[in-house]
Amino acid sequence: MKKRFFSLGAVILLVLVLLAPSARAGKANDTLNILHNIELSSVDNYFNTDRLGVVLCHLIWDSLLYRDFKTGEYKPNLATSWKWVDNRTLEFELREGVKFHNGDAFDADDVVYTLNWVSDPKNGVKTQNNVNWIEKCEKLGKYKVRIKTKKNFPAAPEYIAGVMAIYPHQYYAKVGPEGMGLKPVGTGPYKGVEVVPGKSITLAKNEGYFAGSPKGKPSIGKLHIRFIGEVNTQIAELMSGRADWLWRVPQDQAEKLAKMPKISVETADTMRVFFLQFDAANKKGRNSPLNKVKVRQAIAHAIDRPTIQKTLVKGASQLLHSACYPSQFGCTDDVVRY
């Protein structure tokens, strides 16, 4: 088996490869061994902010909608159809016959409970910005719900199709975030087998994954994710055959690995944007020169971004001219450039 290694945080491609027919795992045990350099604070989708959390969300859980990463099109997932009733109201017809990993049947109660719980600031989810536009979610029938937004929010489908996982309401009401983090339960193509905090996460193929999902059927029997922070140890694991897939390895190491015959180094775009943020509003409580636009412009002008792109990351990135990623909803790169 030719081992795969990603030099960038290729979340999108990682998810697609794991679900695609061409994905490869060890033939002996049908297991893909993955190494990640940062341990998750929690496997609960709403209580972690790491990029691995995005991957796990798509693997363990489902959202009402799914965004095709190639075309940008929104597709039915746990919802079979949706429509805007007015500028602040979305209605969804839900998919029937879907089961959670614990055997519970999916219906409107799960959607209403999940979205109302995570959007309540009192519950302290870490991804509050993803859900704080929701005023309330209402049940219209066993398989029909309505989401009301606090104000006009045309980006709602984008957020819903992202990492807005739907939880089994009875299970989550019983175990809460801590229990979900240790024994995750969703409707997704992979189900949680074992979570060892700080060490590993093991997932297994959901043989009963519902037909018609835009994600497709899972193709690998088991995914074993281990947390190893030191890159040299990761590479040693790869070379010894105890790992099949590395992620977030420095560019210089990627170049060395690319020369080895049994290792494939690949890259893919993500929506992660690295930026320098100024304290223009004096939030630190001092009279900062950064509140002067000319100072901020001078600093921005002094940073040679093309050289950084060429020498630091060896071209493995692209320069952005807007405060968003081009494929994001509503983003435009048609701005004044300096």
DSSP per-residue letters across 162-177: SS-PPPPHHHHHHHHH
**Domain ranges in the chain with CATH number 3.40.190.10:** 3-44+194-265
CA angle 114, 119, 120 (to 5 degrees): 105
Q: What integer best gives the mean pLDDT of the chain?
A: 88
Measure the CA–CA gap between 249 and 210, rounded to whole angstroms. Answer: 35
Percent pLDDT > 90 in the chain is 61
Residue 113: predicted pLDDT: 99
Mean pLDDT of 309-328: 79
Mean pLDDT of 196-210: 97
Q: 195 pLDDT exceeds 90? A: yes
Q: What per-residue string of b and e applies to 271-281 under the rule 16 or more CB within 10 Å gives b?
A: beeeeeeeeee
Q: 6 pLDDT exceeds 70? A: no
For residue range 101-112, what is the model confidence (pLDDT) as tens digits? Answer: 999 999 999 999
Mean pLDDT of 121-132: 95
Cβ atoms within 10 Å of 299's Cβ, excluding its own:
13
Burial class of residue 242 (count of CB atoms within 10 Å of its CB; 0-12, 13-18, 19+): exposed
Residue 16: predicted pLDDT: 31
Percent pLDDT > 70 in the chain is 91
292's tokens:
């002067």
Q: Find, among 99, 96, 129, 94, the residue nearest to 112 by Cα.
A: 94
**SS3 of 184, please?**
coil
Residue 17: predicted pLDDT: 33
> H-type helices in 9-135, by residue range?
11-19, 51-60, 108-118
Beta bridge partner(s), residue 86: 89
Residue 315: predicted pLDDT: 67
CATH 3.90.76.10 for the 65-173 domain, yes or no: yes
How far lies 251's CA from each of 6, 8, 209, 233, 307, in Å? 10, 8, 37, 16, 16
Q: Find, among 64, 201, 73, the residue nearest to 143 by Cα.
A: 64
Domain boundaries 3-44+194-265, CATH class: alpha beta
Measure the CA–CA gap between 236 and 233, rounded to whole angstroms. Answer: 5
Residue 12: predicted pLDDT: 30
Q: Find, among 121, 94, 120, 117, the residue nearest to 187 by Cα.
A: 94
Q: 21 pLDDT exceeds 70? A: no
Residue 14: predicted pLDDT: 34
Residue 89: predicted pLDDT: 98
Contact 168, 188 (CB under 8 A): no
**Domain ranges in the chain with CATH number 3.90.76.10:** 65-173
